[in-house]
């Protein structure tokens, strides 16, 4: 019974790592190429290759060492690269400001 529960836990862990890698791959694919350069991160092609290999390893090669290496790459992308790209792409605006807001408040065109 304990071994069955552990097997279920490992299966769920593998599923979670795969889901996180697929989400990171999707997010890296939908980001703009110039945002990577503007954020001073590795290129879009680099992250697509790394995250694609991570998804392939999680699906095809159930070796824990390779899966953990892919998990580290996925976490680096989600915690470091994605927020920088998101901020560069204009998604870093907080507080519900509109597109007409200037650095010191709303710009009304002198009205």
Give 67-97 pLDDT, tens digit per residue. 999 999 999 999 999 999 999 887 655 555 5
HSE at residue 70, side-chain half, CA atoms within 13 A, is 30
> 106 in a domain, yes or no?
no
pLDDT for 88 equals 87
Short-list 91, 99, 74, CA closest to 39: 91
> 59 in a domain, yes or no?
yes
The backbone torsions φ and ψ at residue 104, rounded to the nearest 5 degrees and listed phi first, read: -115, 15
> 97 in a domain, yes or no?
no
Domain that holds residue 43: 11-89
8 Å CB contact between 111 and 61: no
Give 31-59 pLDDT, tens digit per residue. 999 999 999 999 999 999 999 999 999 99
> 102 in a domain, yes or no?
no
Cα end-to-end span (Å), the chain: 74
């Amino acid at each position: 019974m304990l071994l069955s529960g552990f097997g279920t836990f490992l299966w769920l862990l593998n599923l979670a790592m795969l889901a996180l890698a697929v989400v990171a791959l999707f997010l890296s694919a939908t980001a703009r190429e110039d945002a990577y350069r503007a954020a001073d991160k590795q290129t879009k092609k680099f992250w697509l290759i790394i995250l694609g290999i991570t998804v392939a390893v999680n699906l095809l090669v159930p070796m824990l060492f390779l899966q953990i290496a892919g998990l580290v790459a996925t976490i680096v992308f989600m915690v470091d690269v994605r927020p920088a790209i998101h901020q560069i792409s204009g998604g870093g605006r907080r507080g519900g400001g509109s597109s007409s807001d200037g650095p010191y408040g709303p710009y009304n065109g002198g009205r």
